[in-house]
């Protein structure tokens, strides 16, 4: 099975200024940003990790560090500068809506970002000695979230992923990486048997090297050069096919398109704010980019950001621009082969095949089990019911028999 536009090159502006070649009459009408959290500590040390002692790290495992807080504070300042003419300085819940996955480091990243985006001014100043103001951040448990965390249970996706790993490509890949898996398993003490577990190890080594820890000799032989290509490839797996991408990112794109529609309509019951902010993970960034056929496999860095901008021309034509910022300046790209200035109807049309409403997503996910599974499940339930009936009947008969042979008051016994 072929990669879902795996190596489609991102369209890059020759100059940053070219990314903003809109007519002076064009009006920015809506912005959606999705970013990865800031710098963090390793999620967990590997068994033989010489730096597995919690005391060696500034905060607990998987938590946002002070560097990470500053990462996002500066990104917030950058967003303030970029949208100074669009987003009012004084905070209003009618201007911005913030959502995060239900993870400490993403919630904290959103908070630090907002501190840079909305330093209190004018009526927002509530404490002259504190250049900060509370701004709501919305979230739901990851196990209930199919939109941003994309971790709500989806049996059909799980089945598709298992089928993917049985394809000849992945069988060959597993054979190709056998020695590498065996090597890192032996020396790390962890079970490294697939791309995902390999990426976890790569991430830990990357963070430790960032913190100037000297890596073990065995790790120097494979990090980063021998591990990075496969760690990068792991980010493509969840959206490898269009069907998988639809189940993994479809609810997000459905929400995105719905938001743009609301921004282009007047007098609608639901008021759509000017700015949507989503705080998430490297997997989120990779999944969205790859679904839009704009992902060059790589581990998305801290604060990597996707930007969707909705514009309206003087004659009332709506179009969308998409950007990816993983360095100093954002790079414009064409979403699913649309033009850089993608007309909104074309943007919707290009994403139609992968966009899916939540109720339909729920239905498709639960219908993902093959019919044989339902037969097996029905057979198990029937068997359990039959056994229960047989046991109940046996107990009843024993009880009844005991009652039939109870001693009567005038009954005589013989030796």
CB-based contacts of 351: which residues, under 8 Å, 6+ apart? 253, 257, 292, 335, 336
Give the C-alpha distances (Å, rounded to integers) separating 397 from 307, 391, 393, 394, 401.
Answer: 72, 10, 6, 5, 6
Which is it for strands 342-343 and 275-280: parallel, antiparallel or unpaired?
Answer: unpaired
Q: Which of 100, 352, 97 is nearest to 250 (CA)?
A: 352
CA distance 177 to 186: 14
CB 190 within 8 A of CB 47: yes
Helix (H) or strand (E) holding 305: strand 305-312
Q: What is the DSSP letter of 409?
A: T
Catalytic site residue from 37, 49, 281, 318: 37
As given in the structure block, the two tokens for residue 242 are: 């269009």
231 prior amide bond cis, ω within 30: no
Give the C-alpha distances (Å, rounded to integers) separating 383 from 234, 361, 371, 380, 388.
Answer: 41, 32, 18, 5, 9
As given in the structure block, the two tokens for residue 271 are: 């008021």
Q: Which of 147, 119, 142 is nearest to 131 (CA)?
A: 119
Q: Which of 264, 307, 292, 306 is nearest to 350 (CA)?
A: 292
CB 137 within 8 A of CB 98: yes
Catalytic site residue from 49, 190, 282, 318: 282
As given in the structure block, the two tokens for residue 9 are: 């090159």
Q: Which of 115, 166, 164, 168 is nearest to 137 (CA)?
A: 115
CA distance 168 to 380: 33
Catalytic residue status for 37 = yes
CA distance 326 to 308: 15
Q: Which of 93, 95, 74, 100 is nearest to 28 (CA)?
A: 95
Q: Which of 1, 2, 10 is nearest to 322 (CA)?
A: 10
Catalytic residue status for 178 = no
| Residue 155 DSSP SS3 | helix
Active-site residues: which are they?
Answer: 37, 282
């Amino acid at each position: 099975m072929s990669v879902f536009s795996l190596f489609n090159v991102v369209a890059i502006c020759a100059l940053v200024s070219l990314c903003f070649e809109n007519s002076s009459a064009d009006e920015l009408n809506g912005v959606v940003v999705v970013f990865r959290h800031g710098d963090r500590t390793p999620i967990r040390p590997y068994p033989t990790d010489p730096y597995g002692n919690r005391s060696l790290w500034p905060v607990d495992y998987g938590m946002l560090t002070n560097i990470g807080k500053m990462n996002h504070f500066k990104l917030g300042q950058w967003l303030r500068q970029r949208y100074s003419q669009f987003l009012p300085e004084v905070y209003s819940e009618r201007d911005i809506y913030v959502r995060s996955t239900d993870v400490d480091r993403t919630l904290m990243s959103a908070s630090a970002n907002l501190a840079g985006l909305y330093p209190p001014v004018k009526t927002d100043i509530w404490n002259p000695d504190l250049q900060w103001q509370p701004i709501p951040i919305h979230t739901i448990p990851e196990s209930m979230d199919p939109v941003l965390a994309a971790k709500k249970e989806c049996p059909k996706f799980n089945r598709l992923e298992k089928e993917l790993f049985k394809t000849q490509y992945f069988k060959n890949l597993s054979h190709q990486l056998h020695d590498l898996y065996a090597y890192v398993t032996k020396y790390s003490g962890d079970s490294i048997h697939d791309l995902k577990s390999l990426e976890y190890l790569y991430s830990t080594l990357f963070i430790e090297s960032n913190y100037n820890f000297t890596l073990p000799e065995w790790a120097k032989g494979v990090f980063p050069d021998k591990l990075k290509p496969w760690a990068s490839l792991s980010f493509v797996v969840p959206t490898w096919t269009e069907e998988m991408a639809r189940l993994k990112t479809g609810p997000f794109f459905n929400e995105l398109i719905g938001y743009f529609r609301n921004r282009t309509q007047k007098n609608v019951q639901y008021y759509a704010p000017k700015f949507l902010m989503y705080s998430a993970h490297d997997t989120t960034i990779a999944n969205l980019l790859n679904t839009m056929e704009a992902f060059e496999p790589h581990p998305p860095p801290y604060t990597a950001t996707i930007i969707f901008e909705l514009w309206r021309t003087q004659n009332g034509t709506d179009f969308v621009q998409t950007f990816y910022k993983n360095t100093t300046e954002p790079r414009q790209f064409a979403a699913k082969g649309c033009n850089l200035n993608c007309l909104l109807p074309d943007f919707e049309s290009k994403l139609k095949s992968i966009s899916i409403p939540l109720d339909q997503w729920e239905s498709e996910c639960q219908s993902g089990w093959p019919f044989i599974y339902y037969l097996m499940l029905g057979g198990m339930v029937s068997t359990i019911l039959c056994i229960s009936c047989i046991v109940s009947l046996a107990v009843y008969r024993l009880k009844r028999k005991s009652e039939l042979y109870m001693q009567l008051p005038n009954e005589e016994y013989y030796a």
